[in-house]
């Protein structure tokens, strides 16, 4: 699928594409890199995948209209068990199915209150893109971000970042004009981050 076509997709479809892309990265992590560090402070590769798996275990509940209290703490802690790839894939499959099913304008109960599903999708898509880069850097695999997707996410970040104080580290200066590098730097990551340093 070409980049121009992809960014014209409904944001819910972009989440589905993002889930598929993240799945490819999870499957590509070498066996000896699950304990490797990532650009996310204090998160190993496994910790990062655990975070994303938990988020996508939550997603079907929220997309069905459940509240945060109804979901509760069932996905706290380690949700990966002995097979992190299988755990992610099961969570991703359930999340993917609900994103394909949910109707436009559906309200979703988030910590900020009832929120249109399109805004929840924007947040989830950004998470998949940026944490996909984090995962790839930690896992030593392809970390490229589609330039059209990066440009799209930069546009979204510009509209919301001031409303998310403390959610990301301070922006990092970068001489790069590559959209993916600009995006991760805007969200507090060094585009040249190297786990060996």
pLDDT number for residue 7: 42
Q: CATH for 3-186, among 2.40.50.140, 1.20.120.450, 3.40.47.10, 3.50.50.60?
A: 1.20.120.450
pLDDT number for residue 160: 84
In this structure, the number of other CB atoms found within 10 A of the CB of residue 16 comes to 21
pLDDT number for residue 9: 62
pLDDT number for residue 165: 65
pLDDT number for residue 90: 98
Task: Report yes or no: 7 and 152 within 8 Å, Cβ to Cβ.
Answer: yes
pTM strictly above 0.85: yes
Q: How far is CA 82 from CA 28, 79, 173, in A?
A: 17, 10, 39
pLDDT number for residue 117: 95
What span, in angstroms and rounded, lies between the C-alpha atoms of 112 and 121? 15
Task: Report yes or no: 185 and 171 within 8 Å, Cβ to Cβ.
Answer: yes
pLDDT, tens only, 167-181: 677 889 999 999 999
Q: Which phi and psi (to 5°) does residue 170 adopt?
A: -60, 145
DSSP 145: -
pLDDT, tens only, 123-133: 999 999 999 99
User: 117-139 vs 147-160: helix axis angle to the nearest 10?
Assistant: 120
pLDDT number for residue 166: 65
DSSP annotation string for 25-84: HHHHS-GGGTTSB-SSTT-BHHHHHHHHHHHHHHHHHHHTT--HHHHTTTT-S---TT-H
Segments in the chain below pLDDT 70: 1-9, 165-167
pLDDT number for residue 161: 78
pLDDT number for residue 162: 74
């Amino acid at each position: 699928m070409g980049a121009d076509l992809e960014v014209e997709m409904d944001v819910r479809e972009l989440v589905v594409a993002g889930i598929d892309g993240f799945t490819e990265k999870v499957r590509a992590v070498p066996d000896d890199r699950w304990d490797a560090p990532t650009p996310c402070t204090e998160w190993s590769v496994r910790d990062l995948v655990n975070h994303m798996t938990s988020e996508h275990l939550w997603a079907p509940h929220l997309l069905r209209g459940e509240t945060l209290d109804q979901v509760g703490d069932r996905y706290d802690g380690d949700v990966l068990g002995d097979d992190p790839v299988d755990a992610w894939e099961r969570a991703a499959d359930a999340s993917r199915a609900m994103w394909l099913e949910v109707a436009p304008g559906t309200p979703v109960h988030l910590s900020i209150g009832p929120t249109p599903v399109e805004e929840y999708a924007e947040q989830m898509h950004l998470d998949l893109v940026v944490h996909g880069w984090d995962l790839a850097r930690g896992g030593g695999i392809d970390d490229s971000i589609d330039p059209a997707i990066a440009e799209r996410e930069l546009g979204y970040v510009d509209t919301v970042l001031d409303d998310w104080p403390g959610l990301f580290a301070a922006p990092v200066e970068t001489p790069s004009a590559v959209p993916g590098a600009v995006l991760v730097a805007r969200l507090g990551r060094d585009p040249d981050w190297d786990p060996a340093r």
